[in-house]
Structure 1
Amino acid sequence: MLDDLDRRLLRLFQADPALSTAELAAQAGVPALKAGRRLARLQEAGVLQGQGAVIDWKALGYEVAVSLRVTLDKTQPRAFDEFLAAAREVPEAVEIQTFLGRVDVRLSVVARDLAAYRDLYRSRILTLPHIADIESLMTLAVVKDEEALPL
């Protein structure tokens, strides 16, 4: 699906998403018009889904990151839908993933400190509907956090 030029443009774009089309083209060694057409084609194909800001939560004062593994009470027919709808309303839940297996949902939450996390856990997390079991894993260090693909 991707040719060498597509991969080269994507590698460059992943390395520095702030590059203009002209800068990207220059680094890829192709005319700007050709690079622009390729990027447009990659967007139309759904390969490029947009650009976004990468925010360092710690720089904003969020010192605590916790991964919550949640098992839901699956005897309730709408357990997943109701839990996910309520979890989306928790602003500190920065990521929500669903799984097949013993663990149904993983929430990644951030808090300013342990006291704030304790309050969040008691007032917002434990009140989410249909929780059968919950396990908290506090992040000590992020060893690898790479969104770039090996193109």
Structure 2
Amino acid sequence: MKKDISTPEIDDFDYALLNLLQKDGRATNVKIANSLNLSETPCWRRLKRLEEHGIIKGYHANLNRYLLGFDILAFVQVFSERHTDDSLYQFEQAVKEIPEILSCHNITGDADYLLQIVTKNLDTYEKLLRKVIRRLPGVTSIKTSISLREIKDSKELPLTNI
């Protein structure tokens, strides 16, 4: 979600609150308030304001994909044949329904999209590629890069109040 005129001003307390939540999404209002040296009610109001404005989109568990058996992480460049609004919309809607696709980005350069995909192993990746990805609307070709080793995996934004 892009910032617009309805986005509230973010102050030092908000940045500190957001940083705390990025590190511990299960932190209680009491813990956050104590960390920020605020009383609980103003802290709760700030949290609710950030949620209502969509700055906080939700709360999620950060799962270890390896321990759950998802050994393959692939980055897939997708090339499209048609660049009509309808064709691109159909592709984007189809991608949203495939659970193995963690993220999809419309990108610059030669490819049209970059997908981040997880699967259990190379066999399941190959089947997903053959039976699903190559059959998505408008796809003419793909180029896959398999991650050999994950150096950094973070969803934390580099929040600072400059």
Question: Is TM > 0.5 for Structure 1 vs Structure 2?
Answer: yes
Please tell me whether residue 98 in structure 1 is matched to residue 98 in structure 2. Answer: no
Q: Could you tell me which residue of structure 2 aligns to residue 110 of structure 1?
A: 118
Distance 1:7 1:86 in 2: 36
Deviation (angstroms), 1:142 = 1.9
Q: Could you tell me which residue of structure 1 aligns to residue 136 of structure 2?
A: 128
Q: Could you tell me which residue of structure 2 aligns to residue 69 of structure 1?
A: 77
SS at match of 1:57: coil
1:69-108 residue CA offsets vs partner (Å, 9 max, x unmatched)? 0010026663212222333333322222222442111122
Go from structure 1 to structure 2 and tell me whether the alpha carbon gap of 1:92 and 1:22 turns closer, same or farther (over 3 Å shift). Answer: same
Go from structure 1 to structure 2 and tell me whether the alpha carbon gap of 1:73 and 1:45 turns closer, same or farther (over 3 Å shift). Answer: same
* Further displaced range: 88-97 or 138-147: 88-97
Q: Could you tell me which residue of structure 2 aligns to residue 119 of structure 1?
A: 127
Q: Could you tell me which residue of structure 2 aligns to residue 8 of structure 1?
A: 16
Q: Which runs of 5+ in 1 are unaligned?
A: none
Q: What is the aligned-residue identity percentage?
A: 29
4+ residue segments displaced more than 3 Å? none
Please tell me whether residue 49 in structure 1 is matched to residue 57 in structure 2. Answer: yes
Q: Which runs of 5+ in 2 are unaligned?
A: 1-8
Paired letter, 1:120: L
Aligned residues: 151
* Cα pair 1:6 1:38 within 8 Å, conserved: yes
Q: Matches of residues 128-147 of structure 1 in structure 2 within 5 Å?
A: 128-147=136-155
Paired letter, 2:135: T
TM-score (norm 2): 0.83
Paired letter, 2:27: L
Paired letter, 1:142: E
Q: Could you tell me which residue of structure 2 aligns to residue 22 of structure 1?
A: 30
